[in-house]
Structure 1
Amino acid sequence: MSEPVVAVERLPHALDLPLPAYATAGAAGMDLLAAVSDGRPVTLRPGERTLVPTGIRLAIPDGFEGQVRPRSGLALRHGVTLLNAPGTIDSDYRGEVGVVLVNLGAAPFVVHRGMRIAQLVVAPVSRVRLVERPILPDETRRAEGGFGSTGTGVRSGTDNGGFPASEDREC
């Protein structure tokens, strides 16, 4: 299988910034850099969020998506992460890649030009066909348990979750 190719366009406000790249041979993600104005860093106060430009546009091939993920070091040391983690870049999107940063820390955080602010992972996408059923087949041990229910021994009922029964139909 050949390696997928993602075309990248560097925008005028980011011509001096390096393109995303894998930091190591085993890295799953490429670092995305902040393309904020030089000499005009962006300050995120605690609880504040902002859209940070990356200065690149991507042409992701059909059957793939771009996932914009937080950088663990920013989250651990500063409480800065992505509000919509992971952010999704669809294969038909051609606008500038932006990163929605949020400061969950206690101190202001300054985003400087060229700072590594997120990771880009390109991954295959599975598209499915939904078929509506009056009751889901193959009851599982977990049933409707969610939000921390696994490993507790608690099991929800086996009804249709309060949804009305209907004939099978494609969505």
Structure 2
Amino acid sequence: MKSLKIKRLNENAILPERASAGAAGMDLHACIPSPVTIAPRELVRIPTGLAIALPDENMVALIFARSGLGIKHGVSLSNAVGVIDSDYRGEICVGLCNVGGEPYTIEPNERIAQMVLMPVLNLPLEETDDLGETERGAGGFGSTGR
């Protein structure tokens, strides 16, 4: 059976955990010694104190925002989705931005993001002049209606 190897880089780091049996993501916690306040329109990088080794090269760990931080406080990931490649062995840090109107303070050990493990399809590329036809064609950005 494959497993996700996790290394604590800081003795205070909290291992990722699923909040419920059906949760797709594992919560990542802020590994910070003291609170960090994010002012409106400010970007910060929050360490988790963890590094991982995915079980094979056909996997990726995707980092997503926690919905509560975004909806309640306007705090989201600075790059929408974080991508942890299978060959990365450094610390997982979470880039957060405050798009709300009020400062928000991240507390030590607060759950700041969620990590979802996914397979990756490493398909060969085939350059072509003909992609074939579909009913939709090249329509994009609202072309299918509201």
- 5+ residue gaps, structure 2: none
Higher relative contact order, chain-length normalized (CA < 8 Å, sep 6+): 2
Tell me which amino acid in the other structure corresponds to 1:117: I
| Cα-Cα RMSD | 1.3
- Aligned equivalents of 2:85, 2:129: Cα separation in 1: 32
| Structure 1 residue 67 displacement after superposition | 0.5
Give the match's secondary structure for 1:131.
Answer: coil
| Structure 1 residue 81 displacement after superposition | 0.7
Q: Share of identical aligned residues, percent?
A: 48
* Kept after mapping to 1: 8 A contact 2:40/2:103: yes
* Kept after mapping to 1: 8 A contact 2:62/2:81: yes
Cα deviation code 1:78-136 (max 9, x no counterpart): 01111222211011000000111011101011111101000011111111111111232
- Aligned equivalents of 1:49, 1:145: Cα separation in 2: 35
Q: 1:58 aligns with which of 52, 57, 68?
A: 52
| Structure 1 residue 16 displacement after superposition | 2.7
TM-score w.r.t. length of structure 2: 0.93
Tell me which amino acid in the other structure corresponds to 2:38: L
Correspondence for 1:19: 15
Tell me which amino acid in the other structure corresponds to 1:145: G
- 5+ residue gaps, structure 1: 153-171
Cα deviation code 1:32-63 (max 9, x no counterpart): 000122xx321111111111100000001211
Superposition pairs for residues 23-62 of structure 1, below 5 Å? 23-37=19-33, 40-62=34-56
- Aligned equivalents of 2:139, 2:92: Cα separation in 1: 36
- Aligned equivalents of 1:128, 1:50: Cα separation in 2: 35
Give the match's secondary structure for 2:27.
Answer: strand
The alignment covers a number of residue pairs equal to 145
- Aligned equivalents of 1:24, 1:34: Cα separation in 2: 20
* Kept after mapping to 1: 8 A contact 2:12/2:49: no
* Kept after mapping to 1: 8 A contact 2:40/2:101: yes
